[in-house]
Amino acid sequence: MKVSEELSQLAETLSNPFVESWKKEGGKIVGYTCTYMPEEIIYAAGILPLRLRGTGCVGTAIADAYLSRIAHCSFARSVLELALTGEYDFLDGVVFTNGCDHTRRAYDNWRAQEKTPSFMHMIPVPHVLTEDGLQWYREEVTAFKEHLEESFGVEVTDESLTKAISVYNETRSLLKQLYELRTRKSPPITGAETLKIVVAGVSMPRDRYNQMLKQLLDEISGREGISDYRARMMIVGSVNDDPALVELIEDTGGLVVADSQCFGARLFWDLDEETGDPLNNITARYYHHIPCPRMYGEYPTRFDFVKDAARKADVDGVILQTIKYCDLHGVDNAMLEKDLEEEGIFALRLEREYGPLADMGRIRTRVQAFIERLEGERNG
Question: Applying CB under 8 A, which residues contact other proteins?
Answer: 65-68, 70-72, 98, 100-102, 104-106, 108-109, 111-112, 122, 124, 126-128, 130, 132-133, 136, 293-294, 296-297, 299, 322, 324-328, 330-335, 337-338, 349, 351
Name the residue nearer to other proteins (CB basis): 59 or 297.
Answer: 297
DSSP for 286-333 reads HHHSS--TTSTT-HHHHHHHHHHHHHHTT-SEEEEEEETT-HHHHHHH
How buried is residue 265: exposed, middle or buried, by Cβ count under 10 Å (0-12/13-18/19+)?
A: buried
**CA dihedral defined by 37, 42, 47, 53, rounded to 10 degrees?**
10
Name the residue nearer to other proteins (CB basis): 172 or 266.
Answer: 266
Rounded CA-CA distance 155/285 in Å is: 22
Q: At closest approach, how far in Å is the CB of 269 from other proteins?
A: 22
Name the residue nearer to other proteins (CB basis): 93 or 330.
Answer: 330
Q: Are 270 and 289 in contact (CB under 8 A)?
A: yes
Q: At closest approach, how far in Å is the CB of 145 from other proteins?
A: 17
Rounded CA-CA distance 178/175 in Å is: 5
Q: At closest approach, how far in Å is the CB of 29 from other proteins?
A: 24
Name the residue nearer to other proteins (CB basis): 24 or 115.
Answer: 115
Q: Is 241 helix (H, G, I), strand (E, B) or coil?
A: coil
Regarding beta strands 254-260 and 231-237, do their DSSP bridges make them parallel or antiparallel, or are they unpaired?
parallel
Q: Are 181 and 225 in contact (CB under 8 A)?
A: no
Name the residue nearer to other proteins (CB basis): 14 or 80.
Answer: 80
Name the residue nearer to other proteins (CB basis): 62 or 181.
Answer: 62
Size of the chain, expressed as the number of residues it contains: 380
Q: At closest approach, how far in Å is the CB of 157 from other proteins?
A: 27
Residue 312, strand partner residues:
none
Q: Are 183 and 258 in contact (CB under 8 A)?
A: yes
Task: Say how many C-beta atoms besides its own lie within 10 A of residue 251's C-beta.
Answer: 12
Name the residue nearer to other proteins (CB basis): 126 or 243.
Answer: 126
Q: Are 219 and 3 in contact (CB under 8 A)?
A: yes
Q: At closest approach, how far in Å is the CB of 338 from other proteins?
A: 7
The Cβ-side half-sphere exposure at 257, using a 13 Å CA radius, reads: 29
Name the residue nearer to other proteins (CB basis): 58 or 334.
Answer: 334
Task: Say how many C-beta atoms besides its own lie within 10 A of residue 274's C-beta.
Answer: 11
Name the residue nearer to other proteins (CB basis): 56 or 133.
Answer: 133
Task: Determine the residue type at 232.
Answer: R
Q: Are 92 and 30 in contact (CB under 8 A)?
A: yes
Q: At closest approach, how far in Å is the CB of 321 from other proteins?
A: 12
Q: At closest approach, how far in Å is the CB of 268 from other proteins?
A: 25
Name the residue nearer to other proteins (CB basis): 133 or 205.
Answer: 133
Rounded CA-CA distance 34/123 in Å is: 10
Q: At closest approach, how far in Å is the CB of 96 from other proteins?
A: 10
Alpha-helix runs per DSSP H in 45-190: 74-84, 101-111, 131-152, 158-182
